[in-house]
Amino acid sequence: MVQRVAVVGGGSSGLVCIKVCVDEGLEPVCFESTDDIGGLWKFKDSTEPERSSIYRSLVVNTSKEMMCFSDFPMPAAYPNYMHNSQLLQYFRLYAEHFDLLKYINFQTTVKSVTQRPDFSVSGQWDVVTINRDGEEERHVFDGVLVCSGHYTHPVLPLSDFPGHETFSGKCFHSWDYKDADTCRGKRVVVVGIGNSGGDIAAEISRSAEKTFLSTRQGAWVIGRMSSNGLPLDMTAITRLNNILMQLIPKTLVNWAAERVLNQKYDHRLYGLQPRHRLLDKKPLINDDLPGRILQGALVMKPNLKGFNGSGVVFEDGTVEENIDAVVFCTGYNGNFPFLPPALSDGSKGELTLYKRLFPPSLQHPTLAVMGLFQTKGPIIPVVEMQARWAVKVFTGLSRLPSKEKMLAVIESERKRNMKSYSCPRQAALQVDYIPLLDFMADEVGVRPNFLRLLLRDPLLWVKVFCGPCTPYQYRLTGPGQWAGARQAILSQWERVAQPFRTRAIPEPEKTLSVLFSPWLLTFGGTVIMAVLLSKNEAVPVVQGAAQTLDRCTIFLKDIWS
Ligand SMILES: Cc1cc2nc3c(=O)[nH]c(=O)nc-3n(C[C@H](O)[C@H](O)[C@H](O)COP(=O)(O)OP(=O)(O)OC[C@H]3O[C@@H](n4cnc5c(N)ncnc54)[C@H](O)[C@@H]3O)c2cc1C
Ligand SMILES: *[C@@H]1O[C@H](CO)[C@@H](O)[C@H](O)[C@H]1NC(C)=O
Ligand SMILES: *[C@@H]1O[C@H](CO)[C@@H](O)[C@H](O)[C@H]1NC(C)=O
């Protein structure tokens, strides 16, 4: 019988793991090496080795309705994309609401997690911790949830660049970057166009004399804002879109979406255009970058080649002289020094994980690694579902396939991703947001049944199917069902609107709003399109469209009543 579960780390993943364990009647014991919750999101003015570090201005890149825990919507007044301090505040509210703090041992670091000698029978783990007085303690656990994060070991590839030993400027990693104060009036090169690279380059360009952003690959840059100023992820991550994406050829979607993006700012003109297509990789989420390029404060450059005195040399042979600092936004290595070396493969300590969660080599699946993946959606709801599934597997209510089967799945998923990501490590990390959530939800028994939903609650069905795939969807049925889930879904757009209501503007008159109703717009659009497409065929096309629309209306009326 699995009873006691060790939770390594008290960041957002650790918190939700504690809660899920309690929900399932297990006894969680969380170890957190710092003196507070929040992990990554607890901003500090200085860095400490082996700890994550964020910059002062960091704002989330996923919106509040999409990134919250599934049974705890964010306060309605929160902005849709919040500052890091506000997200930390949300974690505090969550911990308080579910009374999670009492399970956390602060200033206690997990030193090692090893299989017990009788692991083949018991599936238990020896966990050694070091407490605040530096004393070692030994514990026995039935299960382990690893929530230690993976933004702790920055990759600084200095040795790849000749001349760095004699470079007169300063070189540092984005891990060391807090704000642009030290860059005032300087000439700075930022290397790498990940989310951090984009943010940091745009921020530095506001105080530096000149900022150069060097990128090997380029990137598709999208803002947080979708049409009507709504959160991008809420309009993009829907079940309907997910199905459409499978039906419509990928090249067509790429072509259309890239056109829309380029209409805002031509990626080729702006020096941003990557070789890959839009859907191949995670786009860069950044609202400021194009504007900074337009104003000339930020200058795009190709890949860094090396250094020469105070100059920085790029691969196209150009040299930027008198550079004061180079910021490497070159990412992190995953690192789990406390785990048995047998679990990681290769020299870089990478973990092979089934569905990005379970090491396939264990005789008993009583250890899971949370949050070690990349996706085009928010991380937190996926980690929550990982916790719900892991606990089901620990307690034997859900079973994993054989080791061979798991390895085969890992390999085929990696192979598929290699088409977009040439680096095997990156390829292994990528997961598809809704498909992975649904897969795990199936295992847990909480995936919404759409046919039943359609028949019983058509209004909710429309919201769940056509609207944003918000985490509340996984609390509608099954174990862990939450009575507030339905209402949370019905009121999600209300919470999106709330923070904007700071200046009352009277509602438009009804007649006008009818004119602009979605039905009429769709109908009007169809008519105009048909006429434009072909004047000869316009009549049948319009008739067909009208019929379809009619049928839809009747259908909707039917299910409503
Ligand atoms: C710059 C940046 C921006 C991001 N923005 C977003 C975003 O907008 N939306 C989103 O969904 N995700 C975002 N993410 C991803 C983010 O990693 C996740 O959202 C999530 O918060 C990670 O939480 P975690 O608990 O897994 O890890 P962390 O927050 O890193 O927490 C790990 C905790 O474990 C503790 N710990 C580590 N080792 C030990 C040990 N041996 N013993 C005891 N304790 C230990 C650490 O002290 C820490 O408190 C971002 C990441 C970065 C780096
Ligand atoms: C948000 O930023 C983090 C940190 O760079 C990144 O890992 C994550 O993938 C980004 N999220 C999205 C949806 O792009
Ligand atoms: C470095 O700069 C000096 C002077 O500008 C130049 O003569 C030399 O060729 C450069 N070296 C390299 C390797 O580019």
Given a cut of 80, whether residue 132 has pLDDT beyond it is yes
Q: Ligand 2 centroid to 67 CA: how many Å?
A: 12
Q: Ligand 3 centroid to 308 CA: how many Å?
A: 6
325-328 and 170-173 strand pairing: parallel
Given a cut of 70, whether residue 546 has pLDDT beyond it is no
Interval 164-184 mean pLDDT:
97
The CB-side HSE value for 453 (13 A sphere, CA atoms) comes to 17
Superfamily of structural domain 4-152+333-442? FAD/NAD(P)-binding domain (3.50.50.60)
Nearest one of 189, 207, 208, 190 to 199, comparing CA atoms = 190
Interval 280-295 mean pLDDT:
97
Residue 93 burial (CB count, 10 A) = 12
514 pLDDT tier (thresholds 50, 70, 90): low
Q: Is the CB of 381 under 6 A from ligand 1?
A: no
Given a cut of 90, whether residue 539 has pLDDT beyond it is no
- Residue 174: both structure tokens together: 């984005």
226 pLDDT tier (thresholds 50, 70, 90): very high
Q: What pTM was estimated for this model as a whole?
A: 0.92
Which has more confidence, 558 or 355?
Answer: 355
Q: Is the CB of 371 under 6 A from ligand 1?
A: yes
Among protein residues, the one whose CA lies closest to atom 37 of ligand 1: 148
Given a cut of 60, whether residue 536 has pLDDT beyond it is no
* Per-residue confidence (pLDDT) for residue 422, from 0 to 100: 82
Among protein residues, the one whose CA lies closest to atom 3 of ligand 1: 60
In the predicted model, what is the mean pLDDT of the chain? 93
**Phi, psi at 210, each rounded to 5°:** -150, 140
Q: Ligand 3 centroid to 476 CA: how many Å?
A: 66
Q: Is the CB of 39 under 6 A from ligand 1?
A: yes
Given a cut of 80, whether residue 534 has pLDDT beyond it is no
Among protein residues, the one whose CA lies closest to atom 7 of ligand 2: 374
The three-state secondary structure class of 290 is helix
Placement of tokens 């003109």 in the chain: 269
Q: Ligand 3 centroid to 167 CA: how many Å?
A: 12
Question: pLDDT tens digits for 91-124?
Answer: 999 999 999 999 999 999 999 999 999 999 999 9
Q: Report, in angstroms and rounded to the nearest whole number, the Rg of the chain calculated over CA atoms.
A: 26
- Closest ligand by atom to 380 CA: 1
Q: Is the CB of 369 under 6 A from ligand 1?
A: no
Placement of tokens 């419509």 in the chain: 248
350 pLDDT tier (thresholds 50, 70, 90): confident
Superfamily of structural domain 158-328? FAD/NAD(P)-binding domain (3.50.50.60)
Which has more confidence, 347 or 70?
Answer: 70
Domain limits, CATH 3.50.50.60, in the chain: 4-152+333-442, 158-328
CA distance 433 to 464: 15
Nearest one of 218, 215, 220, 209 to 296, comparing CA atoms = 209
Interval 484-489 mean pLDDT:
98
Interval 156-180 mean pLDDT:
97
Which has more confidence, 529 or 292?
Answer: 292
548 pLDDT tier (thresholds 50, 70, 90): low
Q: Ligand 2 centroid to 40 CA: how many Å?
A: 13
Which mutation among 84, 195, 281, 432 tests ligand 2's pocket best, with the greatest number of atoms within 8 A of CB? 195
> Quick one: which H or E segment has residue 14?
helix 12-23
Ligand 2 pocket: which residues have CB below 6 Å? 61-62, 194-196, 282, 285, 374, 376-377
* Per-residue confidence (pLDDT) for residue 423, from 0 to 100: 87
Q: Are 66 and 234 in contact (CB under 8 A)?
A: yes
Given a cut of 90, whether residue 191 has pLDDT beyond it is yes
Nearest one of 2, 8, 10, 13 to 385, comparing CA atoms = 13
* Per-residue confidence (pLDDT) for residue 531, from 0 to 100: 62
Question: pLDDT tens digits for 1-59?
Answer: 789 999 999 999 999 999 999 999 999 999 999 999 999 999 999 999 999 999 999 99
Atom of ligand 2 nearest to the CA of 196: 5
- Closest ligand by atom to 222 CA: 2
Question: pLDDT tens digits for 439-452?
Answer: 999 999 999 999 99
CA distance 258 to 273: 10
Q: Are 61 and 285 in contact (CB under 8 A)?
A: yes
CA distance 137 to 130: 6
- Residue 33: both structure tokens together: 């090496």
Residue 266 burial (CB count, 10 A) = 13
Atom of ligand 2 nearest to the CA of 282: 14
Among protein residues, the one whose CA lies closest to atom 10 of ligand 2: 61
Interval 152-177 mean pLDDT:
96
Q: Is the CB of 12 under 6 A from ligand 1?
A: yes
Q: Is the CB of 205 under 6 A from ligand 1?
A: no
Given a cut of 90, whether residue 538 has pLDDT beyond it is no
CA distance 399 to 382: 19
